[in-house]
Structure 1
Amino acid sequence: MAQSKEPKKIYDIAKLTTKLKHWKIRVKFKLSLTPTEKKKEFKNLNKSGRHCAYILEDESGQIRLFAFDDIATRLESYDIQMDDGQEYFIWGAEIKVADKGFYSYGHKYQLKFLKSAGIRPVEGELSMKENGATSSATASTSHIAKTTGAEDTKKIKLAFDPVPLEEVENYKSEPHFDVLGIIKECSVPEHKQQETSQFFVKNMRLIDTTGEVNISVSAKKKIELPVEDLTSDELQSCFKKKKKKKKCLSEKEAGELGFLEKMDKVHTNQKLKKLTELKDKVIGLVGCEWKEYGKDVICAKLKNLIEEKELPQSSLAKARKLKEFDEQRPKPSRRKETGKKNLDQLQCADIKAEPSESGTQIKKETSAPEKSPKGATGATGPAKPVTTRLACTHPFSKGTHKQKDVMSSEVKTNVSRSVGLIHIDGDPEGTGFRVGEKYIVTCVHVIKSVINVFPNFIDCERITIEFERKKYNKKEDPLQIFNFVPTIAYLDIAVDFAVLELVCHHAGVPFPPALTFFGDVCDMEIHFVGHPGCRQMKEDSDVIPRWSPNHDNEIIPYIKELAEWSKSYFPKVNGEVVDYYSILLEPPRKILFHTSFDLGSSGSPGVIIRDDMPCVVVMLSGGTPSCYYQGLFPDHPVEDCKKVEYGYAMSNIYERMRDSGNRDILNLAEKIFEKWIC
């Protein structure tokens, strides 16, 4: 295979993702390989061969580069200068997901050098090593690796990026994924043995706000003899031979000291024991994977468990939400052993499922009738049959669920076809939706990083929009990804509103349908459709806006009340009191509401259903208090009623465009806001 053509555009290491097709990096080679990676030969059950690995570095971070067999030999044959400031261009390597169970260097991905990959110095030409230089270079490599500090060789965990538990089924084809949740149940450790190792496995049930999963956590078996099991004489002889006092002796140490016969106790890894103590606590697991042991099982290594106090700053807000969610969950009620059962207890507690030839049957157990108290009618005798009704806490109860019209579901499905996920540099950034003949509407802050010459142009090579992203782990469909022209059609920072123009698809795919009906905000429920968390598309229905025609007298006092609360509740910043709700008072007027949508959903359309048609009335822009969403004060939880999201009314945006005095903007407004339903 011929070497691929060298691209022109240079990317930072931190910007590398599997979505990039044509990229080039400018890096230095850094020798900080671990002992395992420095071995040139490898052998496993499937194959054997040789490999090499290097660490590449630029100002944005580090990434691992590796190669196998002939390609490794080719890469090692280059006279690459290490740690001397020499920079190289590299392109055409395969970007792969980094193995979280192996060594990593702070990056989600790693590079596999291929036959088609290219490398050249930034200055000068790439030379080959002279004959006989390979062995000396290897010795030099070993010397440099020994002289580098411990900081260069220590393991660095990858960025912790947990996925919602309801989505783990989508990760069966992925090598690894992270989870964050609360431990609700833990099993007794179970001893397992394979041909070459022994280990313990503990099953636990993890929950988050989206669902729950069972995870099998494993740890290597450790056989130890507690020092407390030894007599005083034995202790004296033990510590005469051992300079350092220890609580436990390993199997090898016990054998050396003659205590091997006393090793009748097996002690598991202390952190595995601690899992029981972590019940009802928030934990993270890095590098989970699906394995097939007769059935699909989620497995994780104990060494990759992160306790709440060890979580990275970026996950503290999620951990706090989890604890608030767990506190608000209804606790299971326990039936008293004495006294008469009420109807709900009888029907909820005594219904059991029993297998039968025709399938699972529901059986209701009945107890002996109780005597009626004196003065009660119907004295004694068998209890009268009661029409079975499931209690409101039963899983099949309808009491807490609101029925929806089929028509409203169909309308929201149609809306979803017009909503897309905006990517910048290959990473999801926010939400946008189709309007007009060829336009996308989104928030200014979503595209801020690609605006080149403010406010007229964007770096169109860095931004795309993807439609029909309804599964997070679904492979990208090139036919659903569209590019933009560099010129910004319209920008209004005051209402966080931007209009971008789409480029016709190279495969001739038509644009997704546009939302064509618009209207005014009222007291009707709003349905939001977007990409919260920058993941797959979701909807949040039954959102009632805090809206009133008498805004100054009804809404503003509510905001000021929240502002006073925040001033007294949150810590000072740099010695000053911060009002986190003042943004809601700043003009132009904002529409307030409570929604479950969070980061990544900026730009989502809020629609109401009128005359069986979706009518866009608001665009989601942000939420406050901002310190909560940023996780600044994890020790200061915020009640749901004090978390306020906001957006801008489409009618206000239209009026601003209409009153701009610019004919081009007025014509654009007429193309976007095609039909108004009052």
Structure 2
Amino acid sequence: MDLRKARMIYNRLKTEMHNAYYTKTMVDNLENFRTEASTHLLGPGLYQYQSFLEICQNLEGKGVIGWDKLGTLKDLVQTTSGGETHLLEMINKAENDIQGLSGNIQQTRVVVPVQDTPEDTVSGPAGNFHKTNSSALPYNDIQIIGKYDLDKYVGLIQITGRLEDSGTGFRVGEKYLMTAYHVFKRTIDQVWERAIQKVKHSQRKGELYREIESLFNISEDEITPLNIKPKKQPLPFGKLFEQFRRQDNGINVEVFETLLKESISVKFGFKDGKPTAGEFHFEYDIPFADADHDVLVLQISEGENTLPPPLPLEEEFVTSSVHLFGYPQGFMKLLSDIKCSIYVDNNELQKDVTKAIEWWKGEGHSFENHYAVCRYADDKRYTDTGKMFLQTSKQFEHNSSGSPVVAIINDRPVVQLMYLRGYPEFCYSKENSLPPPPPQYLFEAGVAMPVVTQLLRECCPNIMGK
């Protein structure tokens, strides 16, 4: 049988079913489908807002439905309030078309999914699109997670205005917030560009250029308005703005007030859409930034509210069984992905990456280069820039950067990684036109805290404290 054609027939069937009877406007049909699916996914849970196609992808990841399991799909549509007969006819037709391929003698390689043995296919929680490990959680971990009220440690970052965006950050040290550098990259680039433009038009630009060289550890020929790529260093914009004010007639810095303070905030402890544990802004001086490792540490401005407590950071060895907490897509509610697994062994990572590449080849695509980053450096547990890989739920695909990945160690949550992005990157783009691969062929990356803490102790020890 030509498996590629079988999958094409199956994918076309799902699209036709979605367009005919499972659109967002057909609420009853979607709700009934979710109810039936919940028998396989341990309740509607996190996928209650997902589309028909996304729920199908979840079921496929569990091995419940597929091109060769259309009988189960028939069972799931039996309760459709409108169009049941037509839906069954559509499935029967696809089933007949696939059976008709059995006479085709073309050999197609069968790609074994990541879960090689029955023990690896234990059902996880609903909405668990990518990961394939068991989500059984020790009761002690549940108690500790509840006790710590993590929404008071983990905040929603909101950037308003023309550069509107969102992300997640978490408290570290005495008065700092850690997040992904790329969450703020556009803002930092804009501040830098406007600052250099102001210097260029200053009557004392030579003096200011020397000041920038000293403050930002950059040579004069590298000072351009296009962008800045920080390398394990502070970004002391506040000190630069002080120099602006001291110039003859003063250089106006109000535009930076808007870019760096008024339009950026972090909020903690959401309840009914309101931050009950405080809303905070940031100082101009950025204590630490590194584009390669994708790490940014901001200093929180003092205000009326008491700062939420910091989370402890892992400084030695990352553990494999972890939990992800964040504000994906800017939701004003802390969401969790319980019991993710980090790849701590490069051989295991490469085995699964190879399967992913082979699957894409079966679909007619050569994407080795897109997976090239998913490899640890020789004799290390990380990439050259401190990244480690894991698999998380689909719900965390967008605007989750900066989320802490924690493990329960000595009865407290300890940050193991900071969540950054997924690979292949095109699969996470909202402009991607290709059908998504099976969930086990997607890999998410986070930067390891032992790497980050070492960088901070070397470059900015005041952040880490004693």
Which interval holds the TM-score relative to the shorter structure? 0.5 to 0.7
The residue type equivalent to 2:444 in the other structure is E
Aligned residue for 1:622, secondary structure, equals: strand
1:629 aligns with 2:366: no
* Aligned match of 2:385: 588
Give 1:424 deviation, angstroms.
Answer: 0.6
* Aligned match of 2:251: none
Give 1:626 deviation, angstroms.
Answer: 1.5
Pick one of 329, 344, 363 that aligns with 1:533: 329
Pick one of 652, 668, 672 that aligns with 2:462: 668
Which whole-Å CA distance do the structure 1 matches of 2:33 and 2:180 have between them? Answer: 27
Aligned residue for 2:440, secondary structure, equals: helix
Gap change, CA 1:567 and 1:520, over 3 Å in 2: farther
Q: Report the structure, 1 or 2, having the larger strand content.
A: 1
Give 1:416 deviation, angstroms.
Answer: 2.8
Pick one of 443, 460, 464 that aligns with 1:644: 443
* Aligned match of 1:205: 29
* Aligned match of 2:158: 423
CA displacement, residues 567-609 of structure 1 (integer Å, 9 cap, x when unaligned): 664658xxxx672112324622421111112211111111111
Contact 1:420/1:465 (8 A) holds in 2: yes
* Aligned match of 1:511: 307
CA displacement, residues 108-159 of structure 1 (integer Å, 9 cap, x when unaligned): xxxxxxxxxxxxxxxxxxxxxxxxxxxxxxxxxxxxxxxxxxxxxxxxxxxx
Report the structure number with the largest CA radius of gyration: 1
Pick one of 445, 449, 470 that aligns with 2:182: 445
Which whole-Å CA distance do the structure 2 matches of 1:562 and 1:439 have between them? Answer: 39
Gaps of 5+ in 2: 1-17, 37-48, 66-71, 76-122, 124-133, 193-227, 238-255, 376-382
What does residue range 585-624 of structure 1 map to in structure 2 within 5 Å? 585=375, 587-596=384-393, 597-624=396-423
* Aligned match of 1:411: 145
Gap change, CA 1:438 and 1:203, over 3 Å in 2: closer
* Aligned match of 2:296: 498
1:436 aligns with 2:173: yes
* Aligned match of 1:544: 341
* Aligned match of 1:321: 54
Which whole-Å CA distance do the structure 2 matches of 1:435 and 1:406 have between them? Answer: 24
Gap change, CA 1:445 and 1:434, over 3 Å in 2: same
* Aligned match of 1:114: none
Which whole-Å CA distance do the structure 2 matches of 1:429 and 1:209 have between them? Answer: 32
What does residue range 100-119 of structure 1 map to in structure 2 within 5 Å? none
* Aligned match of 1:657: 456
Gap change, CA 1:462 and 1:651, over 3 Å in 2: same
Gap change, CA 1:439 and 1:633, over 3 Å in 2: closer
Gap change, CA 1:202 and 1:443, over 3 Å in 2: closer
Gap change, CA 1:181 and 1:603, over 3 Å in 2: farther
* Aligned match of 1:91: none
Aligned residue for 1:421, secondary structure, equals: strand
* TM-score, structure 2 normalization: 0.54
CA displacement, residues 207-261 of structure 1 (integer Å, 9 cap, x when unaligned): 499889xxxxxxxxxxxxxxxxxxxxxxxxxxxxxxxxxxxxxxxxxxxxxxxxx
**Greater RCO (CA < 8 Å, at least 6 residues apart):** 2
Contact 1:591/1:648 (8 A) holds in 2: yes
Contact 1:525/1:541 (8 A) holds in 2: no
Gap change, CA 1:182 and 1:414, over 3 Å in 2: farther
CA displacement, residues 285-333 of structure 1 (integer Å, 9 cap, x when unaligned): xxxxxxxxxxxxxxxxxxxxxxxxxxxxxx9x97753442365657489
Which whole-Å CA distance do the structure 1 matches of 2:176 and 2:144 have between them? Answer: 24
The residue type equivalent to 1:544 in the other structure is S
Q: Report the structure, 1 or 2, having the larger helix content.
A: 2
* Aligned match of 1:466: 267
Which whole-Å CA distance do the structure 2 matches of 1:209 and 1:624 have between them? Answer: 30
Give 1:669 deviation, angstroms.
Answer: 4.6
Give 1:404 deviation, angstroms.
Answer: 3.9
Gap change, CA 1:203 and 1:444, over 3 Å in 2: closer
The residue type equivalent to 2:397 in the other structure is D
The residue type equivalent to 2:384 in the other structure is P
Contact 1:521/1:618 (8 A) holds in 2: no
Give 1:651 deviation, angstroms.
Answer: 0.2
Aligned residue for 1:533, secondary structure, equals: helix
The residue type equivalent to 1:418 in the other structure is Y
Gaps of 5+ in 1: 1-179, 187-200, 213-314, 335-391, 393-399, 660-664
Which whole-Å CA distance do the structure 1 matches of 2:350 and 2:155 have between them? Answer: 34
Which whole-Å CA distance do the structure 1 matches of 2:33 and 2:171 have between them? Answer: 31
The residue type equivalent to 2:322 in the other structure is I
CA displacement, residues 639-658 of structure 1 (integer Å, 9 cap, x when unaligned): 11101111111001122334
What does residue range 19-30 of structure 1 map to in structure 2 within 5 Å? none
What does residue range 143-162 of structure 1 map to in structure 2 within 5 Å? none
CA displacement, residues 15-71 of structure 1 (integer Å, 9 cap, x when unaligned): xxxxxxxxxxxxxxxxxxxxxxxxxxxxxxxxxxxxxxxxxxxxxxxxxxxxxxxxx
Pick one of 467, 482, 499 that aligns with 2:280: 482
Give 1:516 deviation, angstroms.
Answer: 2.6
Give 1:534 deviation, angstroms.
Answer: 1.9
The residue type equivalent to 1:205 in the other structure is N
Gap change, CA 1:600 and 1:638, over 3 Å in 2: same
Gap change, CA 1:209 and 1:321, over 3 Å in 2: farther
Which whole-Å CA distance do the structure 1 matches of 2:56 and 2:430 have between them? Answer: 14
The residue type equivalent to 2:264 in the other structure is I
* TM-score, structure 1 normalization: 0.39
Which whole-Å CA distance do the structure 2 matches of 1:528 and 1:598 have between them? Answer: 12
Which whole-Å CA distance do the structure 1 matches of 2:416 and 2:397 have between them? Answer: 19
Contact 2:174/2:463 (8 A) holds in 1: no
Aligned residue for 2:57, secondary structure, equals: helix
The residue type equivalent to 2:58 in the other structure is F
Which whole-Å CA distance do the structure 1 matches of 2:328 and 2:447 have between them? Answer: 18
Contact 2:319/2:407 (8 A) holds in 1: no
* Aligned match of 1:348: none
Gap change, CA 1:208 and 1:483, over 3 Å in 2: farther
Deviates more, 1:537-546 or 1:578-587: 578-587
- Provide the aligned C-alpha RMSD in A: 3.9
Gap change, CA 1:511 and 1:580, over 3 Å in 2: same
Which whole-Å CA distance do the structure 2 matches of 1:565 and 1:558 have between them? Answer: 11
Which whole-Å CA distance do the structure 2 matches of 1:210 and 1:656 have between them? Answer: 46
**What percent of counterpart residues are identical?**
25
CA displacement, residues 51-96 of structure 1 (integer Å, 9 cap, x when unaligned): xxxxxxxxxxxxxxxxxxxxxxxxxxxxxxxxxxxxxxxxxxxxxx
Gap change, CA 1:614 and 1:628, over 3 Å in 2: same
Contact 1:563/1:579 (8 A) holds in 2: no
